[in-house]
Structure 1
Amino acid sequence: MTAISCIIPVHNEAPRIAAVLAAVAGHPDLEEVIVVDDGSTDGTGDLVAELIASAANTRLIRLHPNRGKTGALSVGISEASAPLLMLIDGDLLGLTADHVAALAAPVRAGLAEMSISLRDNAPRPWHWIGLDYISGERVLPRAVLQEGIAALDALPRFGFEVHLNSLALRQGVRISVVRWRGVRSPLKGAKMGRWRGIKADLRMMGDIFRTVPPHRIVAQIARMRARRVH
């Protein structure tokens, strides 16, 4: 079966990263797991180092200073060795090994070129349309990123997912949406406090819209829905 490199970007996720690692470390579907600690200040990197000390094929990359999610993913992708990439956010709640296997399955079986998670607490509109276009959990061939890899370092901090969507649509990939029942991503307000969370969400949306303008986002979502295989 085609090998998969799992890349997990993290920044100040000490309360949550252990549960995520428990689901992926040693997973039979994964050739390697790469955790990219993006300049954490809460001890995340030290905790990860301790947790993976005896884990085979799992390693930690530390970045200083913080580069943002796109920068962390860029480093992880450049270090990955397998032809398939699995991207997993480091703050997920309820993630299990079965969820990991379900995300890999459509691509491994040749049913789609990219799979995308749809978590329980994804915004309600994403459930209505059956697609979370900015989901951080995906499986895809690294070849899909090849033509746009050089642009990653110039992207805004949270521009990665919509940039990847553009590349995938340009290449005509088939998309499988995998419903992750029981998996949640905590709101930024819950992690940072209400006002800091609101500011962080606004900065994230600003980065997204600087990467792909709002009117093109709407078209991107429509085209991605049309590429769904199930």
Structure 2
Amino acid sequence: MNATVLIPAYNEALTVGAVVGVAVRAGYPVIVADDGSSDATARLAEQAGARVVRLPENRGKGGAIAAGLAQVATPYVILLDGDLVGLRPEHLQTLLEPVEEGRLDMAIGVFKSGGLMTDFGNRATPYLSGQRACRTEFLRGVPGLEAQRWPEPAITDHLKATGARWEYVNLSQLRQVMKEKKRGFWRGLGYRLGMYWHLLRYRWGSRRAS
């Protein structure tokens, strides 16, 4: 395989084993970057066939991706979230194929027919999707990746700055577990609002810097 599946995960014990299992059965090496989880994420990922990189404390998604990238030895990388439901091997191929064939520098997956709420959320903010494929070296070149708690806007800025070719691709019948369901309504809502606040601060800082 020319690609490694990289999954940054924080407290995803309920779903990470199934996500890893699909990628392993499809023939991909899998690295899970366990971002300081307090549950059984690391153990279950290992049992499903992943190589686990453990971060001693929660650093955020960018830090987890950077730690996992340091262990990737293939020319391409497929990023997946650890809370996916309904993942199939063809989803991985849909992401990787246009990049591997040289038509795109990055493919970004958006949910289609996976469920009302996850479809709506993903399509309202597709640039925040965690399902992506690209050259490994391109992702390593994202400035300050390791410092970003939510790195997707920084990746988007790098796409624009480098003139990279990228498109959204449909991932049929795939969805995520909503944060409000996964962490409890109020805690999940707080986590979501915190994410949006962080992204707004990032955008504000980027505009001031320019």
The normalised TM-score by structure 2 is 0.88
The letter of the residue matching 1:60 is: V
The percent identity for this pair of structures is: 32
Q: For the structure 1 residues 214 and 195, does the alpha-carbon distance in structure 2 shift closer, same or farther, using more than 3 Å as the test? A: farther
Match of 1:167 in 2: 158
Deviations 1:91-131 (A, max 9, x none): 00000111111111111122111100011354537647xx7
Letter in 2 for 1:206: W
The alpha-carbon deviation at position 7 of structure 1 amounts to: 0.6
Q: 2:86 aligns with which of 90, 94, 100?
A: 94
Equivalent residues of 2:7, 2:33 under 8 A apart: yes
Contact 1:39–1:64 (8 Å) recurs in 2: yes
* Residue 12 of structure 1: aligned partner: 11
Of 104, 114, 132 in structure 2, the residue corresponding to residue 138 of structure 1 is 132
2:66 corresponding residue in structure 1: 74
2:71 matches 1:36: no
Residue 170 of structure 2 aligns with which residue?
A: 179
**2:137 match: secondary structure:** helix
| 1:54-133 aligned within 5 A | 58-120=50-112, 121=115, 122=118, 124=120, 127=123, 132-133=126-127
Shift of 1:144: 2.2
Q: Which amino acid aligns with 1:162?
A: P
- Quote the Cα distance in structure 2 between the aligned partners of 1:146 and 1:210: 23
CA distance in 2 between counterparts of 1:127 and 1:63 reads 31
Equivalent residue number for residue 183 of structure 2: 192
- Count of residue pairs brought into register by the alignment: 203
Q: Could you report, residue by residue, the CA deviation over 1:50-94 in whole angstroms, capped at 9, with x for unpaired residues?
A: 222xxxxx4111111111111101101122111211110000000
Find the partner of 2:145 among 149, 152, 156: 152
CA displacement at 1:18 relative to structure 2: 1.7
After TM superposition, the score normalised by the length of structure 1 is 0.81
Residue 14 of structure 1: how far off its partner (Å) = 1.0
Contact 2:111 2:119 in 1 (8 A): no
Give how far 1:27 is off.
2.2
* Separation in 1, partners of 2:35, 2:160: 29
Q: Secondary structure at the match of 2:127?
A: coil
RMSD: 2.2
Contact 2:62–2:147 at 8 Å: present in 1 too? no
Superposed structure 1 runs of 4+ greater than 4 Å apart: none
Q: Tell me the distance in 1 between the aligned counterparts of 2:9 and 2:122.
A: 24
Could you say what secondary structure the match of 2:146 adopts? helix
Instruction: Report the Cα distance in structure 2 between the residues aligned to 1:172 and 1:212, rounded to whole angstroms.
Output: 19
Secondary structure at the residue paired with 2:17? helix
